[in-house]
Chain A
């Protein structure tokens, strides 16, 4: 286990955890039924759910997409290296667990800039002995720094799966598209890119999100489905393309639910 890598400032130690505003990783943990959340998160989470009761299903379905996407990448696509930016707090099926169940030798680099998330990842997201898990304290606003540090941890001559699960909503299109393009440009041919984010196709979802953004928390913006496409520019979209999360290669027998989050997986030619 090495975690002396830092693409931005020094180690995260000493950074205070703010418990006065809701926190995206903790509120997400609350909706997923976890116990790593505080009163401020539960209150904000309950308010959100009153306006948009579907958020719990959105949270669960989105994690379900992560599981199916990683299973596909490690399985059918044969990927053994994962760069997961915006790790979040540990939950039931984390990227390395899904990947290493398929291929125990898989190597995962978790990237986050939140001290609480990093502390949990270092303690609880630990690798199978055959593979490796690394933790990178970095901000996605600086994609070059992430690529530079990741180059010391992953083999950039072999394909890598870049995962941005539910984090690009924190950025406008003008900020977000160039960041993602820069990250993809740094990966070798045959690499993959997987993303999901919230879409603006439901009025209650939009209203609840607006209320959350007004609370002082780090804001998150819902995108129209059409505005997901530029994230995948220059990539070959894997079937079934850009779709609501439950429609992406559903498990056999899965109930089709109406969900307002979109996702896709693309391959770099």
Chain B
């Protein structure tokens, strides 16, 4: 664990510190042979609170962390100091916390935390151009589609949030973004031909960034493994933190981090990446579609 390598809290947000700290507390508790009930009692909380802490689902009171470390017999000052720093980072609000609850659901907030903290983001998109690559006009067209009765200022805020997310790509420590797009995502003209042309040009632009890779699965290479739909696999720099699969649904989202589940999606993602056009072929393909659009 190297906290030195963590990006500043205002960029990465609290998600990964929570996951790392939770993971460590879990291991220390197991090593000490202490039950969740006993640990919960020690910090005046329930066993389910201990479970939520260890799974990185909640913030941490520094006093609770200190009490647990005492209980687990962790006396080494350096270890304790590192974990207390993590506890503070785990409570820092992410940049997205100022967006209103009407447009910011808990599950999407959780996703933004993971996205901001990831070192590699692998996405498969069946319908839409990935949110990190959308132009303002395209984002607006897609947002209007899903929120037909929303007032104009709400649409503005939703579009603003989507564009703000893209700061990740130009920040000081951008993640590697490796996206596989189905040809369908390039052919559906959201917002009309002009908007779509602008969007396709943007895709070519971002694909030239060193940390961005775009591969298209053309219709001619159908029958690929991902029939199920779009999904994202997030990887984090810390070896202790497992990959997380994110699947967005209409009114909620699914997060999978069990090894069997992640394996399944990783395998599909790998199959898609090997079946898709290479990045260089994709640039040519995009240029051809722009001519036709």
Contacts and interface: CB of A to CB of B under 8 A. Distances in A.
Interface of A: 1-4, 11-17, 19, 33, 35-36, 38-39, 115-116, 118-120, 122-124, 126-127, 129
B271 interface: yes
Nearest to A114: B274
Interface in B175-231: 176, 178, 210-211, 213, 215, 221
A69 B151 CA distance: 62
Given A38-B267, A123-B176, A115 B274 contact: yes
B212 to A, nearest CB: 9
A124 B280 contact: no
B129 interface: no
Interface string B271-293: 10111111111000000000000
A17 B274 CA distance: 8
A119 B176 contact: no
A32 B168 CA distance: 29
B271 A16 contact: yes
Contacts of A1: 279-280
Contacts of B266: 36, 38
A124 B211 CA distance: 8
B275 A4 contact: no
B271 A13 contact: no
Contact of B211 (A17, A115, A120, A126): A126
**Main SS of the interface on chain A?**
loop
A3 B215 CA distance: 13
B61 to A, nearest CB: 31
Contacts of A116: 270, 274
A119 B211 CA distance: 14
A124 B120 contact: yes
A257 to B, nearest CB: 21
B263 interface: yes
B204 to A, nearest CB: 13
Contact of B271 (A4, A17, A124, A129): A17
A17 B268 CA distance: 10
- Residue of A13, A119, A126 with most partner-chain B CB within 10 A: A119
B100 to A, nearest CB: 36
Nearest to B217: A13
Contacts of A120: 273
A129 B210 contact: yes
8 contacts: A3-B278, A3-B280, A13-B275, A13-B277, A17-B267, A38-B263, A118-B274, A122-B279
Interface in B28-66: none
Given A17-B271, A115-B274, A4 B263 contact: no
B108 to A, nearest CB: 25
Contact of B235 (A17, A35, A38): A35
Contact of B221 (A13, A126, A129): A13
Contacts of B242: 35
A11 B278 contact: yes
B4 interface: no
Nearest to B120: A124
B243 interface: yes
A126 B210 contact: yes
Contact of A39 (B120, B211, B263): B263
- Residue of A12, A15, A123, A124 with most partner-chain B CB within 10 A: A123
A119 B280 contact: no
B128 to A, nearest CB: 21
Nearest to A26: B270
Contacts of A38: 263, 266-267
A123 B280 contact: no
B239 interface: yes
- Residue of B213, B263, B278 with most partner-chain A CB within 10 A: B278
Contacts of A122: 213, 278-279
Contacts of A119: 270, 273-274
A124 B176 contact: yes
Nearest to A126: B210
Given A17-B271, A35-B242, A124-B176, 11 more contacts: A2-B280, A4-B281, A13-B275, A13-B278, A36-B266, A38-B263, A116-B270, A118-B274, A119-B273, A122-B213, A124-B213
Interface string B160-186: 000000000000000010100000000
Contact of A127 (B210, B263, B274, B279): B210
A1 B204 CA distance: 13
